Amino acid sequence: MSRLAAKFEALAKAGRKALIPFVTAGDPRPDFTVPLMHEMVKAGVDVIELGVPFSDPMADGPVIQRASERALAHKMSLRRTLETAIEFRKTDQDTPIVLMGYLNPIEAMGYADFANAAQRADIDGVLTVDLPPEEGLECSALLKARGIDPIFLLAPNSTDERVKKMDAAGSGYIYYVSLKGVTGAGHLNTADVEHKLQQIRANTNLPIAIGFGVKDAATAKTIANIGDGVVIGSALINKIEDNLDDLDLAKQEIITLLASIRQALDN
Amino acid sequence: MTEKYNMPDERGHFGPYGGIFVAETLMPPIQELNEAYQRYLADPEFIAELDADLKYYVGRPSPLYHAERWSRELGGAQIYLKREDLNHTGSHKINNTVGQALLAKRMGKTRIIAETGAGQHGVATATIAARLGLECVVYMGAVDVARQSLNVYRMKLLGATVIAVKSGSKTLKDALNEALRDWVTNVDNTFYIIGTVAGPHPYPAMVRDFQSIIGREAKEQCLEATGRLPDALVACVGGGSNAIGLFYPFIEDKSVKMYGVEAAGDGVATGRHSAPLCAGRPGVLHGNRTYLMCDDDGEIIETHSISAGLDYPGVGPEHAWLKDTGRANYVNITDTEALEGFYALTRMEGIIPALESSHAMAYTMKLAPTMSKDETIIINLSGRGDKDMQTMAKREGIEL
C-alpha cells in the first residue's frame, strides 16, 4: 500500500481529515523549503504538495505564478525539486510528498527518467495539472509501476463519465478543484461543493482532497468535512510574499495558520 | 506520410503532436466546442452564413497579385502575392474570427475572449464581437500593448476591453496564459477565440479549416493566372495560422514546395529568436504537444522578434508534423533581413507589408533568384503594415 493510501486509511479510521499544504519548491529561495516542510509536519499536516516551478502556470492565479517566478529566479527546476524531496526524506520517512506541476518539465526530462528519478526521491504521488488521463496513461503506468500514485483533478463541471475515468486512471486521492477558476480565487461556494461531492462519491471510492480558494480555518473546516482532506496553497504563499524581507516571520505565519487549521479540523 | 492527408486523428493528434493537454475544468468546454464544431462544419446553413460573411463582410476572395516588377528585379521565379492584407481589418486573422464567432453565437455564448500579439487577431475579434453585439475581452502582453498601440486603440474603439498582461515575458504567450485563466473562470458563458493553429484540439484543426480559404482561393487563382499549380509557397510562421491556411489545400500536391518562415530575431545562433521549428524541441505548452523554445529543464524561454505577431515560443502542432515528415521546409529570417523585405515590397510594388509578413518577403528574396522565370511562388501577404508605422518611424528616428 502506498504511503498516501495508508495515510488516508489511518485518517479515516481516526475520523480525521487530511490537512495538505501546497508550497512551491524553492520559493522564495531554495534553502527555505526543506526546513519549512519539517515545520509544517510538526504543525500537524498530513501530506505535502510540493509545487514544481514552471514558467507558464496556466491554471494558477497570480499568487502561485509569482511563487514560481521567485523560485525560477533562483534556477529552481524539476531536478532540484526532486533534490529538495530527497533532502526532506533524510529525516522524515513518513510524510507523503506529492509533486504538483505542469507537464513540460516532465516531457523535457523524459517520462521514464522522471519516473525513475521520482522513485529515487521517494515521491508518493504526482499531480500534473495539464495532463488529463486521455493523454496521460503512458506516464501514469510508469509511475504506478514504481509505486507512485498518479493523482488527477476533478472540477465542478466534470461529468459522471469523467469521474469514472479519474477513478480508473488515478490512485492515492482525487484532487477536487472546488471552483471554476484559478488557484487562490475568491468565489468558493460550499453548498456547491457539497452537492458535487455527492455525485463524485457515487462514482469513486478514492479519497477526495478539496482545494482552490481555501483561505482560512473556518472555510478549511467546512470544506474538509465535505471531503477527506483540504488543500491550502495561495493563502500560505501569501505569507511568504508579505514577508520577503523577514523569512523567519513568513515561516512563523505559515505555521500559525496551519496550526489553527489543524485545530479547527480536529475539533 | 500517406498520399491521402487526413490529419488530425479524432483525438486531435498530428502524429506525436497536438492533443488535449489542459486542466480538468477546460475538458468539458473543449468537448462541447468540438461537438459543436463537427456539427456545424456539416451544416449547410452554417456554411452558407460563413461564406456570405467572408464575401460581404471580409471582402473575399482576396486577389492573387502578380508582383511583376519585383519578380523582374529579383530575376527568378514569378512572384504572386495572396493579398490577405486587403481583408477587412487588414490581415488574414478575420477569416478565423468570423468563423469562430458564428460558432459562439450558435452555441449561445455571450462573451468572447481572445489573446493577441501584434493586435491583428485582437482587432479581428473585437470587430466581429462588435458586429454580433457580444462582450469582448482581449488579453495582450504589456510589451505588445506598448509596441502596437494603434491596434490597442482600434480594439478599444470597437468596444473591447483590452487587458495588458504583466506576468512572465509580457508578450503573446503570457496573453494566452491569461486568456486560459479567464476561460477557466468563466467557462459557462465564454467562448475563447484562439487566433492561431495552436491550443488544445480542436483549435489547431478548426483554425486551419477556417483559414484554408486562403489556399483554396490561391490554388484556383493560380491555375487561372498561370494554367498550373505554383512551384513554391512561402508564409511566415509564428503560431502558423496564415501559413497553414495557405499550405493545407496543397499538401497532397507533392510538386508544390512549402516554406514556413520563422522569426530569427537577432539570429538563431544568438538564442534571441522565435524559431522553435528551426531551433527548438518537442514539448507541451498551451494545450498541445509541439516544437517549443524551452531549456533543458522544460522552462519556456523568452522569445525575441521585431514582429509582435511572431514573438511566440511554440508553433501549431500541424507544422511540427509537416516538419518531421519533410512535407514543408522551415527556414528563418532575422529582424534585419525582415526589414529589407519590408522596404523591398514597399518600394518595388507600392504595398506596405506587416512586419510579420515581411519575413516571408525576405525569404522570397533569397528563394526567387534560385528559381527559373517560368516557375511560380505564392507568398501569403498575411497583413498590411499600417499597424507597424510607429515601430518603423521610431527605428528611423522619426517622431510621429
**Exposed, middle or buried: residue A129 (CB in 10 Å: 0-12, 13-18, 19+)?**
buried
Is residue B372 flagged as an active site residue?
no
Tally of CA atoms within 13 A in the half-sphere of A194 that contains its CB: 9
Q: How high is the pLDDT of residue B2? A: 45
Give the number of other CB atoms < 10 A from CB of residue A149: 24
For the sheet with B78-83, list strands across it: B64-66, B78-83, B376-381, B232-236, B257-265, B329-334
Q: Which residues pair with B192 in a beta bridge?
A: B113
What pLDDT does residue A185 have?
83
Of B24, B28, B188, the CB nearest to A153: B24
Nearest to B192 by CA among B9, B14, B25: B25
Whether residue A259 is contained in a domain is answered as yes
- Quote the pLDDT of residue B1: 42
Look-up: residue for cell 495560422? B241
Q: Which one has a higher pLDDT value, B112 or A184?
A: B112
A31 in contact with B, Cβ within 8 Å = no
Nearest by CB to residue A154, choosing from B24, B184, B187, is: B24
Chain position carrying cell 492515492? A172
Tell me the sheet residues that pair with A50.
A23, A99
- Closest-CA distance, B129 to chain A, in angstroms, reads 24
CA distance A244 to chain B (A): 19
Q: Which residues contact A259 (CB under 8 A, 6 or more apart)?
A: A43, A44
Mean local confidence (pLDDT), A172-189: 90
Averaged pLDDT, A1-26: 97
User: Rounded to whole angstroms, how far apart are CA atoms B110 and B93?
Assistant: 21
Contact A110, A54 (CB under 8 A): no
Domains in chain B with CATH codes: 13-54+92-207 (3.40.50.1100), 61-90+212-395 (3.40.50.1100)
Integer Cα distance of A88 and A39 in angstroms: 11
Tell me the Ramachandran region of residue B298: left when phi exceeds 0, alpha when psi lies from -120 to 50, beta otherwise.
Answer: left
**At B354, is the secondary structure helix, strand, or coil?**
coil
Q: Which residues of B34-65 are buried (b: 16+ CB within 10 A; e: fewer)?
A: bebbeebbeeeebeebbeebbeebbebbbebb
> Residue A221 pLDDT more than 50?
yes
Distance separating alpha carbons of residues B65 and B82, to the nearest angstrom: 6
Q: How many domains does chain A have?
A: 1
Say yes or no: A52 contacts chain B, CB-CB below 8 A: no
Name every chain A residue with its beta carbon within 8 A of the beta carbon of B300: 55-56, 104
Any idea what DSSP says for residue B266?
T
Confidence of residue A1 (pLDDT cuts 50, 70, 90): confident
| Contact predicate B10/B207, CB 8 Å | no
Asked if residues A142 and A153 have their Cβ atoms less than 8 Å apart, the reply is no
- What is the residue whose three cell numbers read 518562415? B261
- pLDDT, averaged per 10 consecutive residues of chain B (400 residues), comes to 82 98 96 96 96 98 98 98 98 98 96 94 97 97 91 97 93 93 94 97 98 98 98 98 98 98 97 97 98 97 93 96 98 98 98 98 98 98 95 92
Chain A positions in Cβ-Cβ contact with residue B186 (cut-off 8 Å): 180
pLDDT of residue A183: 87
A184 band by pLDDT with thresholds 50, 70 and 90: confident
Report ipTM (2 d.p.): 0.96
In a domain, A7, yes or no: no
User: Considering the domain boundaries, does residue A5 fall inside one?
Assistant: no
Residue A211 resides in a domain: yes
**CA–CA distances in Å: residue A87 to residues A48, A53, A144, B105:** 14, 18, 23, 54
Query: For A223-249, what is the mean pLDDT?
Result: 97
The CATH number assigned to the domain holding A59 equals 3.20.20.70
Residue ranges of E strands in B179-304: 190-192, 232-236, 257-265, 281-285, 287-292
Instruction: Check B82, B93, B173, B387 and give the catalytic one.
Output: B93
Tens digit of pLDDT for each residue in B143-162? 999 888 899 999 999 999 99
In a domain, residue A10? The reply is no
Q: Inspect the interface and report whether the beta carbons of B181 and A130 lie closer than 8 Å.
A: no
Residues of B contacting chain A (CB within 8 angstroms): 11, 19-25, 27-29, 167-168, 173-174, 177, 180-181, 184-188, 282-287, 289, 292, 294-300
Is there a contact between B292 and B285 (Cβ–Cβ < 8 Å)? yes
For chains A and B, count residue pairs whose Cβ atoms are closer than 8 Å. 121
Range of the domain at A33: 17-266
Q: Can B382 be counted among the known catalytic residues?
A: yes
